[in-house]
Structure 1
Amino acid sequence: MKSSEIRKHFLDFFKSKEHQIVASAPMVIKDDPTLMFTNAGMNQFKEFFLGNGVPKSNRISDTQKCLRVSGKHNDLEEVGKDTYHHTMFEMLGNWSFGDYFKKDAIAWAWELLTEVYKIDKDILYVTVFEGSEEDGLPLDQEAYDLWKQIIPEDRIILGNKKDNFWEMGDQGPCGPSSEIHVDIRSEEEKAKLPGKDLVNKDHPLVVEIWNLVFMEFNRKADKSLEKLPAKHVDTGMGFERLCMVLQGVKSNYDTDVFTPLIREIETISGSKYGKEEKTDIAIRVIADHVRAVSFSIADGQLPSNNGAGYVIRRILRRAIRYGFTFLGQKEPFIYRLVDVLSKKMGNAFPELKEQKQLIQNVIKEEEHSFLRTLDQGLVLLDNVMEATKGKKIAGEKAFELYDTYGFPLDLTQLIAEENNFEIDEKGFEKKMEEQKSRSRAAAEVATEDWTVLLDDETEEFIGYDYLEASVKITRYRKVSSKKDGDMYQLVFNMTPFYPEGGGQVGDKGYLEVPNGDVVYILDTKRENNLIIHFAKNLPKHIGETMKAVVDRKQRERTAANHTATHLLHQALREVLGTHVEQKGSAVHSKYLRFDFSHFSKLTLEELRDVENFVNARIEGKLPLQEQRNIPMETAIEEGAMALFGEKYGDTVRTIRFGNSIELCGGTHVKNTADIWHFKIRSEGAVAAGIRRIEAITSDATREFYFENNRVFYEMRDLLKNPKDPVKAISSLQEENESLRKQIATLLKDKAKNLKGDLKSQLEEINGVQFLASRVDLDPGKLKDLAFELGNEVDNLFILFAAEDNGKALLTCYISKDLANERGYNAGQVVRELGKFIQGGGGGQPFFATAGGKNPGGIPEALDKVKEYIS
């Protein structure tokens, strides 16, 4: 059975059980600060488990793109080494929100596996929660009895809290689970040891295939459990593992989910899968990782140096270095796999086809960049080995290569071994743990349980129409972190504060408390369908009605920038072409940032055309045409633009200014005239095929032109108020260039005279032409002077010392023949002499330099150097 058929049978089965089939949510999460990526099928339904929203149906099923590479669920280092762990994977799931529970969930799971997929009942095992004394929970007798009616008791296994009690996190909904495991070993292996003894023992052929979670508790901050108002079902089945079972193979990588990618890697690299373990691991890593990176880029997350982007870059770089080290790939090649991937999975996930060109360009550029980093790392590692006394490289040095230059430990080890060096791994791990401890401490957040004041009121956002409102606090909690200290999160029954989303920052403002106190709202965010207001203090008289006031000036500036972003998007598509698509935005009160797909730098003429296009719409005084809660299909038919990687509901809000119409939840001006003026401040590349424009509007443009005007008049004053300032500056530049050439000639003559003086000071010692001298010459010329003398004098050994801006510089030159015959090493010389100037340096055996902060040590260094040849 092909993988596409397996996926279809699953969805069709649950459709027949009255489940609504929904699309996979984006893999990159944008409205939940507790997660970077979707790591389980239930993530997009989290608000329903928490009671913060109402699902469109009480029964839902889907296949969800998931990524597990950070936090609690981190499989990254296992990927490739075994045959069943993945970074990106599909999770087939079915959910019940207060509808059916254990009986139907168990019965349907068994029916699908054994009657639809025809899996042999005799190779299946199930686990049931054994209970927990710590939580005061008994054996899940209901689940046990239900399974007993289906499967022999000797294939029902009691599981502990770790394996059979599923929790969303340290706090939140949770409950016991029943896992279904499959044993696909050979009959000979089964005869030696029953599968029951291998369940949850990390055996590659006795694996969990489906997890049925029965959500009925809420974990509180004090670790106690309370019953949820309703019971829910949350199931997750690993699609890749299911394909392995149904296609009769022993590895996920032998299924048709991966074999097309593996064949392409074999073709590109000339390597053969299945011949050598190291090669097989590398091929599995690359086949897995290209999926994770491609889906992330399609969902709008580009590789970067922080946050979710850093995770994606780390995954891709892991794939690149496996190809570099074990497949001999010194040029970009992973981007060539994207075409195969889009053909294989593009029907189920059309974003792969639609974003294929962008994905290929981004991956190719990242490969080029990291391969250059690897080349730099090789040079650095050579220097480290040269400077190492003995044959053991310090863990601190290996960690520096990893942390500062991105040079991975396994590659450092491989190259070190080839040169008969070893790495102090314990020292490396110590440094790594210190870094992780610092990161954990900085990111650690202690969150108390919600204190609920009002249970029967639903929060409503009224900020499109009002900037002030009388509100009541419905719930609050305290949150403590090393970064922000103690903060309070407040939820109101209604709020005028816009929560961060769609690239727009959250509103700030204040609460007026009845006793006259003012509590400042520092930020507003959305979390699991709650609008959360951040404050340093908890208001007194917390149960009373208060006045919530949004910072009007900041809101107006932000709204102007958000509307300008829409007009900018329209302008770019008009000027550059309809291939332009939004790839990210940031809307603040002081500026806007817009990322978009385009494959070349914008010319000055194009930038001017974009600016003129936007400003023409501002001058046109276009009114806001807003539609709220209209069907998604209607909005698309009317021409509204939807963004890749965004999650939209059945009803949406559209924003129109003239011919610009987009799906948007942000705040906007009532008329484009309110923007006043639009000015592009910068344009540049973010990644391959992605450009970024930063721009300003409103008050910021007034300040921009005022500042430019001020600078212009100051410049005129400095130039003595010429009639033509541009001509005056041009004349100054010409004069400066003429003087620069004269100085260069004088310095050249000085160096020539100096060279003659220095030659006359050479001293022969043991057949070596030796000179140690302090030289009054520009540091940049010392190297040229040394090499010129080297070309004219044989067996030369020179040490020059100079001072520049309060710093000491040493330059050592040794004739190559002399270095080879007598074992002299200029790099070693400057490293040892560097201690006299409180610095250090290095280089090659025939030429090296050092710098230090103590010029007073120069005489001692010049005296000491003679010992090397005496």
Structure 2
Amino acid sequence: MQWTSNKIRKAFLDFFNGQNHKIVPSAPLVVKDDPTLMFTNAGMNQFKEFFLGNEKPESTRVTDSQKCLRVSGKHNDLEEVGVDTYHHTMFEMLGNWSFNDYFKEETIDWAWKLLTEVFGIDKDRLYITIFEGDKEDGLPRDTEAFELWNKHVPADRILDYDKADNFWEMGDTGPCGPSSEIHVDIRSDEERKKVDAKKLVNQDHPQVIEIWNLVFIQYNRQASGELKPLPAKHIDTGMGLERLAMVLQEKQSNYDTDLFQNLIQATEKVTGVSYSGSDQKKDIAFRVIVDHIRAISFSIADGQLPSNTGAGYVIRRILRRAVRYGYSFLDQKEAFLYKLLPALIKEMGEAFPELKKQSTLIEKVMKEEEEAFLRTLEKGIQKFSEYRKKHDKVEGEFAFELYDTYGFPIDLTDLLAREEGMKLDLEGFQKALEDQKNRSRKATSMEAGDWVEVNSAESTNFVGYDQTQAEVSIARYREVKQKDKKHYQLVLDQTPFYPEGGGQVGDKGVLKNDSSQISIFDTKKENNLIVHFTKELPKDLNGKFKAEVDVAKRENAARNHTATHLLHHALREILGEHVEQKGSLVRPDYLRFDFSHFQKVTDEELQQIEKRVNELVLENTPLVEKRNIPMDEAMQMGALALFGEKYGDAVRVIKFGDSVELCGGTHVPATGALGLFKLTNETSVAAGIRRVEAITGAEAYRYISERIQQLDIIAEEVKNKKDPVKGVQQVIGQNRELSKQIDSLKQKEEVAERNALLSELKELNGIQFLAKTVDLDAGSIKNLAFKLRKELKNAVILLGSKGKKVTLSLIVTDDVTQSKGIKAGEEIRDLAQHIKGGGGGQPFFATAGGKDANGLDEAYKQIEEKVKSL
């Protein structure tokens, strides 16, 4: 059987579906409600709340193919990508999970059956690793796993490894447990005879590779480092589709599989360069490009645009790395990555339809990012060229500046240096890089203590859609230190506080009882826990409390959230159905809405959009809310679902007339509650993404009232209350005429001054010289200086001015500079001291500003002495 990647994916899912596993869709690459993660970097991320016990799964057995990205934090493979044949940024993780259902025996038996019977992998080529135990943690060898494997595999092919290889942990804290890895030897028979594969397991050998990791989650790591048994045991497995395809398609590299070959062939066509297998640098460039195009495209499709911060910066780095390799080794001086998108869609578009749906946006964003970076690269190369004129080696600080500001990899700087015969201070570069990383770590470091249980509650019951007050008790709390500041996080048994999500900021308010009152300054969601932020703890943690939301802020936020729905509807109605929400921010004081649109929104269109939203406000359409309805039913209602958002089987639908959206935010009971809607700004965020900002209610009234007051003042000033616009236009016209008259007078004055100066020139040492004070402004003096420079030969002229600021202007004609070595820019610095100021400029013209007019005469004397001494 020909195992294409699509057939492999389907066979895996079908197998576990046959073992009563529910097939679930891949979660988005970008993580929205977990402060410990930027991206989904493992198949288990979307099930984290089940492992933590914060939520109960609807199905205790699931399977999927999860998009993963490993480019930041602990799981950072970026620098290996392309260099070897099996590391990737974006990859697919095939997995099966058990949430307190089956455990080791079924997991091991099914893994063996799937690999050897369904996929037909040679049993003699498979090697197993198990956890050898750890004295520090007080953990014994995983003999249970050994015995279960020994039913299928000889004992000499079951290898013991330590905690680093065979004990999986979610992070510094959280659920964890021993793991069992399955490795496969795909070397030739001849190579297998030479070296026993047991010696090559876990040695980063490109043909003796791990393909599947079975994790037996049975402990919880505390912040103190202590391990505690979990009340429920779980299974988490992960197998890279790319590596499995390499094995089943009998290739020696992931990049030789169908997942990458179409992309490599497309790259050959676009660049005109061949992927030969003999030119190491070019081949690495090919592998970098075809890997990175996948990570970039899927990230943009899931809603993460390249930017200068956070997850967006990581995506920008990946894109720039691909562009750099194409630029340096494939001679691509123009944008080319975006041209590979059709080949990617052809290969993966069926399994991941978001690629097709978002193809126009992906292409436009990628092309603009490429072109911007190529311009930056050119600037960096120009900066390097200027640097080499003054230096004989490349200092580490400068190499880091090129890296940090212009995106130069150190190897590109090294290449430029070697071409010029310069030595690179690599040690200095590494120090500057490490210093930056330390600053970044310090700025973002967060230490969270263990949760302290107060009252038992598996999860928080959110009652905030119906009430803004509730009787509550504290379920758990923890202490958190961030940037040398301390705060506490509380989880309540129930809460009216809305947690940050869907663009809407978290609620603020108070938690109080008879003995104490504390402020809640933020509310967020973390792995399905609603977490309340406070700077202090109540005196009696076990008491009953009243949780009260700041109603004014909540109502204003609700107005703005409803406004985003009406705005989205109006945008699609006026600009077209291609408009899709790409991000939002809903605050009590204003709203921000990002959407896909490929040109600037015109003033006329903005007026139409604002008018349409206000029409919807005036209609006072009541809210229709459907909670916990099946996703299929929501789609039948015509609800808009956003790409990059994770939706469960049951969703909430918000409907205002024809506006129907999936949404978890708070809203007003009817559109009339908005009162008034006012757009305040429209701008570009990225290629194909526009942003509008708006205000509603009292804030919109205040804004318009201020503008009317300003208009009244202007009408009064221009003395035209009936038509202040016409009055302003008249004033502007008069101003233009007066400006023309002033310019004409200045020109006459400059001509008169020029003639006077020429008549006062005297000869010193064969040089025409003059130093005097003139009654001209700085602009006129500059104009005069440039004219005199063209008209005169062998001249040095110093002009002073006593206007608002004391100034000196020095003119030195080119022939004096060449024959006598006198340069205006150097001389002016000494002359400026007399007027207690500073200055600089070019060899032929320089200026200085100061505050002491009494020093002008001394400056004139000094320049005259200088000329006499030449």
C-alpha separation in 2, matches of 1:803 and 1:427: 49
C-alpha separation in 2, matches of 1:825 and 1:329: 47
1:544 alignment partner AA: G
2:339 alignment partner AA: R
Q: Deviations over 1:81-123 (max 9, x none)?
A: 2211111111111111111111111121122112211222222
Q: 2:71 aligns with which of 69, 72, 94?
A: 69
- For residues 773-792 of structure 1, what are the structure 2 equivalents within 5 Å? 791-792=790-791
For residue 308 of structure 2, what is the aligned residue in structure 1? 305
Larger deviation, residues 153-162 vs 410-419: 410-419
C-alpha separation in 1, matches of 2:503 and 2:840: 46
For residue 323 of structure 2, what is the aligned residue in structure 1? 320
Secondary structure of the residue aligned to 2:184 is strand
Contact 1:580–1:596 (8 Å) recurs in 2: yes
Secondary structure of the residue aligned to 1:498 is coil
Larger deviation, residues 786-795 vs 732-741: 786-795
Q: Taking structure 1 as reference, are residues 742 and 482 closer, same or farther at Cα in structure 2, changes over 3 Å only?
A: same
Secondary structure of the residue aligned to 1:258 is helix
Residue 379 of structure 1 pairs with residue 378 of structure 2 = no
C-alpha separation in 2, matches of 1:182 and 1:803: 85
Residue 519 of structure 1 pairs with residue 518 of structure 2 = yes
Contact 2:719–2:727 (8 Å) recurs in 1: no
Aligned residues: 862
For residue 40 of structure 2, what is the aligned residue in structure 1? 38
Residue 161 of structure 1 pairs with residue 160 of structure 2 = no
Q: 2:27 aligns with which of 22, 25, 28?
A: 25
1:201 alignment partner AA: Q
Q: 2:199 aligns with which of 168, 189, 197?
A: 197
Q: Taking structure 1 as reference, are residues 212 and 812 closer, same or farther at Cα in structure 2, changes over 3 Å only?
A: farther
Secondary structure of the residue aligned to 2:178 is strand
For residue 462 of structure 1, what is the aligned residue in structure 2? 463
Secondary structure of the residue aligned to 1:85 is coil
Q: Deviations over 1:460-517 (max 9, x none)?
A: 101010110100111111111116x1111111111101111111111111011231x2
For residue 671 of structure 1, what is the aligned residue in structure 2? 670
Q: 1:332 aligns with which of 326, 331, 335?
A: 335
2:309 alignment partner AA: N
Q: Taking structure 1 as reference, are residues 419 and 764 closer, same or farther at Cα in structure 2, changes over 3 Å only?
A: farther
Q: Deviations over 1:1-52 (max 9, x none)?
A: 2111111111111111111111000001111121111000000000000001
For residue 612 of structure 1, what is the aligned residue in structure 2? 611
For residue 449 of structure 1, what is the aligned residue in structure 2? 450
Contact 1:594–1:693 (8 Å) recurs in 2: yes
For residue 483 of structure 2, what is the aligned residue in structure 1? 482
C-alpha separation in 2, matches of 1:417 and 1:671: 69
For residue 414 of structure 1, what is the aligned residue in structure 2? 415
Contact 2:796–2:810 (8 Å) recurs in 1: no
Q: Taking structure 1 as reference, are residues 313 and 739 closer, same or farther at Cα in structure 2, changes over 3 Å only?
A: same
Contact 2:488–2:537 (8 Å) recurs in 1: yes
Secondary structure of the residue aligned to 1:489 is strand
- For residues 545-584 of structure 1, what are the structure 2 equivalents within 5 Å? 545-584=544-583
C-alpha separation in 2, matches of 1:802 and 1:277: 66
Residue 436 of structure 1 pairs with residue 441 of structure 2 = no
Give the C-alpha shift of residue 370 in structure 1.
1.5
Secondary structure of the residue aligned to 2:96 is strand
Larger deviation, residues 763-772 vs 188-197: 763-772
Secondary structure of the residue aligned to 2:521 is strand
2:155 alignment partner AA: E
1:348 alignment partner AA: A
2:33 alignment partner AA: D
For residue 600 of structure 1, what is the aligned residue in structure 2? 599
Give the C-alpha shift of residue 765 in structure 1.
11
Secondary structure of the residue aligned to 1:293 is helix
Q: Deviations over 1:397-429 (max 9, x none)?
A: 333333344444433333333333333222222
1:90 alignment partner AA: E
TM-score, scaled relative to structure 1: 0.91
1:552 alignment partner AA: V
Q: Taking structure 1 as reference, are residues 395 and 838 closer, same or farther at Cα in structure 2, changes over 3 Å only?
A: farther
Secondary structure of the residue aligned to 1:145 is helix
For residue 144 of structure 2, what is the aligned residue in structure 1? 142
C-alpha separation in 2, matches of 1:370 and 1:782: 41
Give the C-alpha shift of residue 740 in structure 1.
2.4
C-alpha separation in 2, matches of 1:394 and 1:670: 64
Q: Taking structure 1 as reference, are residues 23 and 457 closer, same or farther at Cα in structure 2, changes over 3 Å only?
A: closer
C-alpha separation in 2, matches of 1:430 and 1:64: 37
Secondary structure of the residue aligned to 2:695 is strand
TM-score, scaled relative to structure 2: 0.91
Q: Percent identity?
A: 56
For residue 9 of structure 1, what is the aligned residue in structure 2? 11
Contact 2:718–2:731 (8 Å) recurs in 1: no
For residue 505 of structure 1, what is the aligned residue in structure 2? 505
Larger deviation, residues 618-627 vs 774-783: 774-783
C-alpha separation in 2, matches of 1:117 and 1:322: 36
Contact 1:830–1:842 (8 Å) recurs in 2: no
Give the C-alpha shift of residue 701 in structure 1.
0.7
For residue 235 of structure 1, what is the aligned residue in structure 2? 237
Larger deviation, residues 715-724 vs 203-212: 715-724
Q: Deviations over 1:215-258 (max 9, x none)?
A: 00000010000000111111111111111111122211111111
Larger deviation, residues 214-223 vs 94-103: 94-103
Q: 2:185 aligns with which of 183, 186, 200?
A: 183
Q: Show structure 2 runs of 5+ residues with no match.
A: none
Q: RMSD over aligned Cα, in angstroms? A: 3.4
C-alpha separation in 2, matches of 1:66 and 1:397: 35
Give the C-alpha shift of residue 66 in structure 1.
0.5
C-alpha separation in 1, matches of 2:528 and 2:382: 51
For residue 225 of structure 2, what is the aligned residue in structure 1? 223
C-alpha separation in 2, matches of 1:58 and 1:814: 87
Secondary structure of the residue aligned to 1:683 is strand
Residue 634 of structure 1 pairs with residue 633 of structure 2 = yes
For residue 361 of structure 1, what is the aligned residue in structure 2? 364
Larger deviation, residues 806-815 vs 163-172: 806-815
Give the C-alpha shift of residue 148 in structure 1.
2.3
Contact 2:597–2:689 (8 Å) recurs in 1: yes
For residue 711 of structure 1, what is the aligned residue in structure 2? 710
C-alpha separation in 1, matches of 2:864 and 2:79: 51
Secondary structure of the residue aligned to 2:524 is strand
Give the C-alpha shift of residue 379 in structure 1.
3.1
C-alpha separation in 1, matches of 2:196 and 2:799: 77
C-alpha separation in 2, matches of 1:314 and 1:601: 27
C-alpha separation in 1, matches of 2:831 and 2:65: 63
C-alpha separation in 2, matches of 1:855 and 1:260: 74
1:395 alignment partner AA: G
C-alpha separation in 2, matches of 1:36 and 1:207: 28
Contact 2:365–2:687 (8 Å) recurs in 1: yes
1:59 alignment partner AA: R
Q: Deviations over 1:681-713 (max 9, x none)?
A: 011111111111100001111111221122223
Contact 2:211–2:244 (8 Å) recurs in 1: yes
Q: Show structure 1 runs of 5+ residues with no match.
A: none
Contact 1:80–1:285 (8 Å) recurs in 2: yes
Larger deviation, residues 607-616 vs 415-424: 415-424
Give the C-alpha shift of residue 783 in structure 1.
7.4
C-alpha separation in 2, matches of 1:205 and 1:853: 73
Q: 2:58 aligns with which of 41, 56, 59?
A: 56
1:697 alignment partner AA: T
Contact 2:793–2:813 (8 Å) recurs in 1: no
Q: Taking structure 1 as reference, are residues 116 and 762 closer, same or farther at Cα in structure 2, changes over 3 Å only?
A: farther
Q: Taking structure 1 as reference, are residues 279 and 807 closer, same or farther at Cα in structure 2, changes over 3 Å only?
A: farther
Secondary structure of the residue aligned to 1:56 is coil
For residue 394 of structure 1, what is the aligned residue in structure 2? 395
For residue 153 of structure 2, what is the aligned residue in structure 1? 151
Give the C-alpha shift of residue 272 in structure 1.
1.6
For residue 108 of structure 1, what is the aligned residue in structure 2? 110
C-alpha separation in 2, matches of 1:756 and 1:432: 60
Give the C-alpha shift of residue 727 in structure 1.
2.5
Q: Taking structure 1 as reference, are residues 754 and 375 closer, same or farther at Cα in structure 2, changes over 3 Å only?
A: farther
